[in-house]
Structure 1
Amino acid sequence: MLEKIQEDISLASRHIEVLRAVASHQPIGIIKLSELLTVPQHRVRYSLRVLESSGYIRASSAGAMVTPKAEAMFLHLNEDIEEIIQILNRMKRP
């Protein structure tokens, strides 16, 4: 039952890792991101597609760049993760 949640968290973690790399090295392309993160190009491409469709990055001729939505997400990321951790802690057996 929790396997799907674990997979989703792992995927979200990769998306955030890609987004952080884009923010730090923008504009940046798939090949450079793949080398930087040591993640296969097809996975980087998928993360970029998800991030772009969600409005966190935009494509340019020089490579991916973050949007103001990504910058706002980074401001609240720790608090959002902490909320998730609290929910998971409430699920634990007493």
Structure 2
Amino acid sequence: MIDRLEKEVDMLERHLQVLKMVIGNEPIGIVKMSNETGYPHHKVRYSLRVLEEENLIEPSSQGAITTEDTADFVDELDEKIDSIVDKLDSMKIEETAEIQS
């Protein structure tokens, strides 16, 4: 159960790292992103596709570029992540809790 969540978080981390690269280096292509992040081309390509589906980037002849929705997403990102962290913290089982058999 928790393994699936960890895999999703890892994938989200990759998507956000790819988005950061586009924001900081637009336009940027798959090869450069792959070389700089260490992610294989197919994983970068998948992240780009996800980001494009979310309308956060779009392709251009020189590489990926941001869209008009990117800034709003970035502005709200920290708040959303903080909210998720709070939810996860509330799900922790305290060490002192006794497990009933």
With the shorter chain as reference, the TM-score category is: over 0.9
Please give the alpha-carbon distance, in whole angstroms, between the structure 2 residues aligned to 1:18 and 1:10. Answer: 12
Aligned position for 1:20 = 20
Q: Number of residues paired by the alignment?
A: 94
Please give the alpha-carbon distance, in whole angstroms, between the structure 1 residues aligned to 2:69 and 2:37. Answer: 22
- The amino acid of 2:63's aligned partner reads G
Q: Does 1:31 align with 2:31?
A: yes
- TM-score relative to the length of structure 2: 0.89
Q: Give deviations 1:16-68, integer Å, cap 9, x for gaps.
A: 00000000000001001111111111110010011111111000001000112
Aligned position for 2:97 = none
Please give the alpha-carbon distance, in whole angstroms, between the structure 2 residues aligned to 1:60 and 1:31. Answer: 15
Aligned position for 1:68 = 68
Greater Rg, structure 1 or structure 2? 2
Other structure's SS at 1:68 match: coil
- The amino acid of 2:28's aligned partner reads I
Please give the alpha-carbon distance, in whole angstroms, between the structure 1 residues aligned to 2:12 and 2:90. Answer: 21
**Aligned positions of 1:1-94 closer than 5 A:** 1-94=1-94
- TM-score relative to the length of structure 1: 0.95
RMSD across aligned C-alpha pairs, in angstroms?
Answer: 0.8
Unmatched 5+ stretches in structure 2? 95-101
Deviation at 1:84, TM superposition (A): 0.4
Please give the alpha-carbon distance, in whole angstroms, between the structure 1 residues aligned to 2:72 and 2:23. Answer: 12
